[in-house]
Amino acid sequence: MKKFLSIFLVAILAISLAACGSNNSSGENTNSNSDSATGGEQITPEKIVMGFVPSQESDTIADTVAPLADRIGEELGIEVEGRVMTDYTALIEAMGSNEVHVGFIPAFGYVLANEQYGAEVILKSIRYGSGTYKAQYIVRADSGIESLADLEGKIWAYPDAASTSGFLFPASQLMDEFDIASAQDLQTTFFSDTVQSGAHDTAAIAVYEGDADVATTFEDVRTGLEEEYPDIMEKTKVIGYTEEIPNDTISVTKELDDELVQKIKDTFLSFNEDEDMIKIMNEVYSWDEISEATDEEYKVVKETYEKFKDSISF
Task: Report the phi/psi class of residue 220: left, alpha or beta, with left for phi > 0 and alpha for psi in -120 to 50.
Answer: beta
> Element (H or E) spanning 203, and its range?
helix 200-208
Query: CB count, 10 Å around CB of 58?
Result: 15
Question: What pLDDT score was predicted for residue 190?
Answer: 97
Q: What mean pLDDT, rounded, does the chain reach?
A: 86
For residue 26, what pLDDT is reported?
Answer: 35
Q: Which amino acid is at 238?
A: V
pLDDT at 15: 37
Domain ranges of the chain: 47-130+247-307, 132-246
What pLDDT is recorded for position 87?
Answer: 86
User: Which architecture does CATH list for 132-246?
Assistant: 3-Layer(aba) Sandwich (3.40)
Q: Judge whether residue 262 has pLDDT over 60.
A: yes
What pLDDT sits at residue 309? 73
Nearest to 98 by CA among 139, 49, 154: 49
Confidence category of residue 284, pLDDT binned at 50, 70, 90:
confident
For range 39-64, the mean pLDDT: 77
Cα separations (Å) of 193 from 178, 187, 190, 199, 312?
Answer: 17, 7, 9, 18, 16
Q: Which long-range contacts (CB under 8 A, 24 or more apart) does 174-182 make?
A: 174/148, 175/307, 175/308, 177/148, 178/148, 178/149, 178/152, 181/311, 182/308, 182/311
Contact 151, 214 (CB under 8 A): yes
- Tens digit of pLDDT for each residue in 143-173? 999 999 999 999 999 998 888 999 999 999 9
Cα(118)–Cα(96) distance, rounded to whole angstroms? 8
Mean pLDDT of 55-71: 74
Nearest to 285 by CA among 31, 44, 106, 55: 55
The helix, strand and coil proportions of the chain, stated in percent and rounded to the nearest 5, come to 45, 25, 30
In the predicted model, is pLDDT for residue 60 greater than 70? no
Residue 287 predicted with pLDDT over 50: yes
Of 300, 303, 298, 305, the residue nearest 124 (C-alpha): 298
Q: Which of 179, 170, 281 is nearest to 217 (CA)?
A: 170
Identical fold, 47-130+247-307 and 132-246: yes
- What's the whole-number mean pLDDT along residues 261-282? 95
Predicted confidence (pLDDT) at residue 11 exceeds the cutoff of 70: no
Q: How far apart are CA 289 and CA 282, in angstroms?
A: 9
How far apart CA 286 and CA 284 sit, in angstroms, is 6
Q: Where are the beta strands (DSSP E) in 200-282?
A: 214-218, 236-241, 245-246, 249-252
- Give CA–CA dist 157/166, Å, rounded: 9
pLDDT tens per residue, range 272-281: 999 999 999 9
Q: Report pLDDT for 65.
A: 87
Pick from 7-21, 42-56, 149-163: least confident: 7-21
**Of 4, 22, 1, 2, which is closest to residue 12 (Cα–Cα)?**
4
Looking at residue 30, what is its pLDDT? 52
Which long-range contacts link 270-273 to residues 24+ away (Cβ below 8 Å)? 270/75
Residues 6+ apart with CB under 8 A from 168: 108, 162, 301, 304, 305
Q: With contact defined as beta carbons under 8 Å apart, do 251 and 113 qualify?
A: yes
Q: What percent of the chain has pLDDT over 90?
A: 70
Report domain 47-130+247-307's class. alpha beta
pLDDT tens-digit series, residues 197-223? 999 999 999 999 999 999 999 999 999
Q: Which residue has the higher pLDDT, 2 or 192?
A: 192
> Angle 107-117/299-308 helices, nearest 10 degrees?
80
> Tens digit of pLDDT for each residue in 92-142?
999 999 999 999 999 999 999 999 999 999 999 999 999 999 999 999 999
